[in-house]
Chains A and B, each alone.
Chain A
Amino acid sequence: MSTTLNASRRNFLKTGALLGSGLLISFTVPGAKKLGGAGAAVLGPQSGAAFAPNAYLNITADNEVLVYLAHAEMGQGIWTTLSMMIAEELDVDVNKMVVQHGDAWKPYNHTMFGIQITGGSSTTWSEFDRYRKAGATARALLVQAAAQKFGVNPADCKTENGVVTAGDKSATYGELATAAAALPAPGDVPLKDPKSWKYIGKGVKRLDTPAKINGTAKFGMDMQFPGMLTAVVLHAPVFGAKVKTVDSAKAKAVAGVRQVVQIPSGVAVLADNYWAAKKGRAALKVDWDLGSGVKVDSGTMLAEYKQLAQKPGATANKAGDVDSAMSKAVKTVEAEYTFPYLAHSPMEPLNVTIQLKDGKCEIWTGTQMPGLDQGAAAQVLGLKPEQIRVNTVFLGGGFGRRATPSSDFVKEAAEIVKASGKPLVKMVWSREDDVKGGYYRPAFLHKITAGLNAQGLPIAWKHTIVGQSIMEGTLFAGMIKDGIDGSSVEGVSDSPYMEAIPDRLVTLHSPKNEVPVLWWRSVGHTHTAMAMEAMIDELAHTAGKDPLAYRQELLKHSPRHLAALNLAAEKAGWGKPLPAGRFRGIAVHESFLSYVAHVAEISLNEDGTIKVHRVVSAIDCGLAVNPDGVKAQIESGINFGVSAALLGEITLEKGHVKQGNFNDYVVARMFDTPADIEVHIVDSTGKMGGVGEPGVPPVAPAIANAYFAATGKRLRQMPFNKANLPA
């Protein structure tokens, strides 16, 4: 099935893993009632509109412009950005548009990746032409309809705010909708001159805010229908464990519990509400065949990874003869960086609602890949994909977790429906299900040896990466080439530092185990940026150079890295004195086609732990379609990065995940995050890049490098919590 992906591996590498990323959330806005008429399951979204020039927008006779999103809103702001693109070309007030997620439907396939997916920080750049063209085409037809109605030349018509005027004649788009719908599609319609843009590059306030602050925004968790049962699942205590025996007598005796069924992933309790289902689950007695998963143990795994890293793995990047160059180096520096498993833990626990009715099926869920989910549910339920309508609702965070190639959570809900025979079920995961549920950012180890010449510049670089592949065993496995899962080495093998080093060898070991792993906001860059930017900092120090100046020298042929680096350094006052007890670190990294530099300012708490006070950031993402939205995403990425850098860690003991909720899988609270975050956007005409993920990667190294400035000690083991700080 990997052939369904059009993305070339190169594209894949350059854009990071497709789905991983960003904040994808989806929700329903109150005005969305108009969509597709009443329960038009399985129809495209177009029914009921007077004018449906394409899959992306409709205009009703009462002058309402409906926007259909090919991507899901997870918080990253595309609800607003995609609407802006259409409004810009259509000449309507963006604030009056009614926005709706598109169905699982072919026209909503990603323009580059070939499946319907929100990820890879790609929505804005990948839709920039398609959504503008959708608006421009509709506008051209409306103008043509108006010209006929007014008896004038289309060139004499003007459009503004949803109205076509010519001289003293005018008509609203709604009035013209039916006539426009009868016209043949125009050929290629020109797009507006950027100089005349009203919204793009200037920005509008988020269209989803009102619904998200008054309780009306609908997330998957909020789906409720008469007669619906809520299901919770007792999951295996160890990955891969199988149910041996179930004693459900006590569970069934719990008031409100309606049924207990065994499914492939565990035992599901169906009840009138979540609380009853959860009580029922607690009363289950299940014997498990734990299987080989019990062998997984974080401590021994790290030792194994260290062992593996002694030998080179599959080659990801090779030039010259690294060993002989290393022997000629004036100085060598060696370092090993380690990274734990991480759970995404989006704020909204996973959930799926499924209804079977009249041989058709409807699904409501917050998902980053509705098309794959549709197929997965169809397979379980014995239906054709086109018999299933997937309603994407607001995602209460995604960060990659709501994009599993296996559609694990949708499949699980479908299994419950199938096993129970109940036609209307909402499956809800607890936070513990989420934290213990796998699909983690894999644990990684990087072992690097770098050799410097007399000038302190790197001439040899030997780098071994060890960590599970997120592609292996999934329908994206075809992207693994010659033993290299590009997402494990992105940010190292394509690093601009590498190009300047004549003798180098980057290799990869991809050990396997039972723990399911997945893309996690910024994917491979979550670890590669730390390894590269912390190492470069070590080299700068070894060379006796300023960390900024050293990077400027090494990146002199990478103008966009430099632009971000210089802007962040300037705004942070790099080199200027700091208040006593404050220290700075810097890092720059490209991911998802955008270039981000952070300067972190830290102090040390009394117990030696790190307090991050300030992060000054600069991003070159090309055109910033919604500049404040870009800033919001970088702020978000910084805090997500701070959370992972200082706190995030999933560990396993005899196959059991040790953490279970926010008390022990600790994530950043307000007081953990920098009080002062400044984001600056490079004025750039470069190729457009993403913003959902690129703010994350440089956070950890900027903090680690600041810690070195503070203590003279290097942080090489994430997270930088008390236990991992150097003595």
Chain B
Amino acid sequence: MVKLKINQKEYSVDASPDMPLLWAIRDVVGLTGTKFGCGMAQCGACTVHLDGEAVRSCVTLVSRAVGKEIVTIEGLSADPDNYLQKAWIELDVPQCGYCQSGQIMSAAVLLRENPNPTDEDIDSAMSGNICRCGTYPRIRKAIHLAAKMQREGGKDK
């Protein structure tokens, strides 16, 4: 049994220490918003935040996540002020949708660290997230839009 803190909630997880965090989150805890796409840090579908850092949970061992704050797409969505999701809706980004949890989790870290990213910044920050439906142009636009909302929203506060 290992103790994991996911989306501010403590879980006792029956997982072998060599189990990747992805499977602990999905198969043991039962949070399925985080997706499996490749299992080898190639596609980004499994992206979660570990102490605020975007990691590929398919290659992150459970043991590494112990004692850290894990945030999944479900946790991120609990924030009603999430500009990314607003922008995603506004621009009709998803198609099949399977990659989108991971895209949004990666984009969230980008926007936190770089509130005003250029196209090149976005291309590089999002290079680990594959979308087979090719929603890239809309993801790029949506990140710009969310950045704008974030800047303007920030002013209001």
Of residues 282 through 326 on chain A, the ones whose CB sits less than 8 Å from some CB of chain B are none
Q: Which size class do B's interface residues fall under?
A: 35 or more
Are the CB atoms of B43 and A25 closer together than 8 Å?
Answer: no
Within 8 A of B (CB), among A10-27: 23, 25, 27
* A346 interface residue per 8 A CB criterion: yes
Minimum CB distance partner of A635 in chain B: B137
Cβ of A25 and Cβ of B96 under 8 Å apart?
yes
Q: Is the CB of A222 within 8 A of B137?
A: no
What residues of A have a CB within 8 angstroms of the CB of B123 in the complex? 670-671, 675
Q: Find out whether the CB atom of B96 lies under 8 angstroms from the CB atom of A397.
A: yes
Give A670 to B28 CA distance when docked, in angstroms.
32
A25 to B135: give the CA distance in the assembly, Å.
14
Chain B residues lying within 8 Å of A348, measured Cβ to Cβ, are 35, 37, 96, 98
Asked whether A206 lies within 8 Å of B134 as measured between CB atoms, the reply is no
Q: Known contacts being A214-B74, A348-B98, A671-B123, is A662 close to B134, with CB within 8 Å?
A: no
The reply to whether B34 and A215 contact each other, CB–CB distance below 8 Å, is yes
Contact, CB under 8 Å: B37 / A347? yes
- Chain B CB within 8 A of A273 CB: yes
Contact B93 A209 (CB under 8 A): yes
A276 / chain B contacts, CB cutoff of 8 Å? 16
Q: A213-B89, A274-B23 are in contact. Are A347 and B131 (CB under 8 A)?
A: yes
Report the separation of the CA atoms of residues A256 and B93 in the bound assembly, to the nearest whole angstrom: 39
Taking each of A25, A76, A77, A394, which has the highest tally of chain B beta carbons within 10 Å of its own beta carbon? Answer: A25
* Cβ A75 vs Cβ B133 within 8 A: yes
Shortest B67–chain A CB gap in Å is: 21
A273, closest chain B residue (CB): B27
Known: A215-B101, A347-B133. A671 touches B23 (CB 8 A): no
Chain B, residue nearest A662 (CB)? B42
Task: Digitize A384-403: 1 where CB-to-B-CB distance is under 8 Å, 0 elsewhere.
Answer: 00000000001111110000
> Nearest chain A CB to B80's CB is how many angstroms away?
11
How many of A's residues come within 8 Å of B, CB to CB?
71
B94 at interface by CB-CB < 8 Å: yes
Query: Does chain B have a CB within 8 A of A147?
Result: no
Contacts A274-B23, A397-B133, A675-B119: A217 and B97 contacting too (C-beta < 8 A)?
Answer: yes
Check if B139 is an interface residue, CB within 8 A of chain A.
yes
Q: Is the CB of A639 within 8 A of B136?
A: yes
Instruction: Verify B89–A222 contact, CB threshold 8 A.
Output: no
Given contacts A394-B97, A662-B43, A675-B119, contact A635 B85 (CB under 8 A): no
> CB distance A205 to B32 under 8 Å?
no
A431 at the interface (CB under 8 A from B): yes
Q: Contact at B32–A396, with CB atoms within 8 Å?
A: no
**The residue from B93, B119, B133 contacting A23, defined by CB atoms under 8 A apart:** B133
Contact of A661 among B27, B31, B42, B140 (CB under 8 A): B42
What mask results when residues 28 to 66 of chain B are scored 1 for a CB within 8 Å of chain A, else 0? 101111111111101101000000000000000000000
Q: Is the CB of B43 within 8 A of A670?
A: no
The yes or no answer to A576 lying at the interface (CB within 8 A) is no
Report the separation of the CA atoms of residues A400 and B156 in the bound assembly, to the nearest whole angstrom.
48
The answer to whether A215 touches B33 (Cβ under 8 A) is yes
**A431 to chain B: closest residue by CB:** B38
Contact B85 A23 (CB under 8 A): no
Identity of the chain A residue whose Cβ is nearest the Cβ of B119 in the assembled complex: A675
How far is B56's CA from A663's CA once the two chains are assembled, in angstroms?
Answer: 15
Chain A residues near B122 (CB, 8 Å)?
Answer: 670
Q: Are A25 and B28 in contact (CB under 8 A)?
A: no
**Contact residues in B for A636 (Cβ distance below 8 Å):** 95, 133-135
Task: Say yes or no: A399 contacts B132, CB within 8 Å.
Answer: yes
In the bound complex, do residue B32 and residue A669 qualify as a contact, i.e. CB atoms below 8 Å apart? no
User: DSSP majority for the A interface?
Assistant: loop
Q: Does B77 contact A (CB under 8 A)?
A: yes
Per a CB cutoff under 8 Å, which of B72, B94, B136, B139 touches A215? B72
- Provide the bound-state CA to CA distance between A671 and B39, in Å: 22
By the criterion CB–CB under 8 Å, are B89 and A677 in contact?
Answer: no
Q: List B117-132 residues whose CB lies under 8 Å from chain A.
A: 119, 122-124, 126-127, 129-132
Any chain B CB within 8 A of the CB of A667? yes
- What residues on A are CB-neighbors of B99 within 8 Å? 347
Quick one: closest B residue to A211, CB to CB? B97
Bitwise interface map of A from 182 to 210 toward B, beta carbon under 8 Å scored 1, else 0: 00000000000000000000000110111
Question: Does B73 sit within 8 A of A, measured CB to CB?
Answer: yes
B77 touches A397 (CB 8 A): no
Closest CB of chain A to B152's CB: distance in Å?
21
Tell me if A638 counts as interface (CB < 8 A to partner B).
yes
Question: Within the assembled complex, what's the spacing in Å between the Cα atoms of A348 and B37?
Answer: 6
How many whole Å from A73's CB to the nearest CB in chain B? 8
Nearest B-chain residue to A426, judged by Cβ: B27
Instruction: Determine if B136 and A396 form an interchain contact, defined as CB atoms under 8 angstroms apart.
Output: no
Across-interface contacts of B104 in A (CB, < 8 A):
213
List, in ascending order, chain A residues with CB within 8 A of B95's CB.
23, 25, 75-77, 632, 636
- Selected from A222, A273, A347, the residue in CB contact (under 8 A) with B132 is A347
Q: Counting CB contacts under 8 A, is A603 at the interface?
A: no
Check if A670 sits within 8 Å of B74, measured CB to CB: no
- Chain A residues in contact with chain B, CB under 8 A? 23, 25, 27, 73-77, 205-206, 208-219, 221-222, 224, 230, 255-256, 272-276, 345-349, 394-399, 428, 430-431, 628-629, 632, 635-640, 642-643, 661-663, 667-671, 673-677
Identify 26 residue pairs between A and B in the complex whose beta-carbon atoms are under 8 Å apart, listed by A's number. Answer: A75-B133, A77-B95, A209-B88, A213-B104, A215-B73, A219-B35, A273-B19, A347-B99, A347-B132, A396-B96, A397-B98, A397-B133, A635-B134, A635-B138, A636-B133, A640-B132, A661-B38, A663-B40, A669-B126, A670-B127, A670-B136, A670-B139, A671-B123, A671-B127, A673-B134, A674-B137
Q: Give B residues with C-beta under 8 Å from A.
A: 16, 19-20, 23, 26-28, 30-40, 42-43, 45, 72-74, 77, 85, 88-89, 92-101, 104, 119, 122-124, 126-127, 129-140
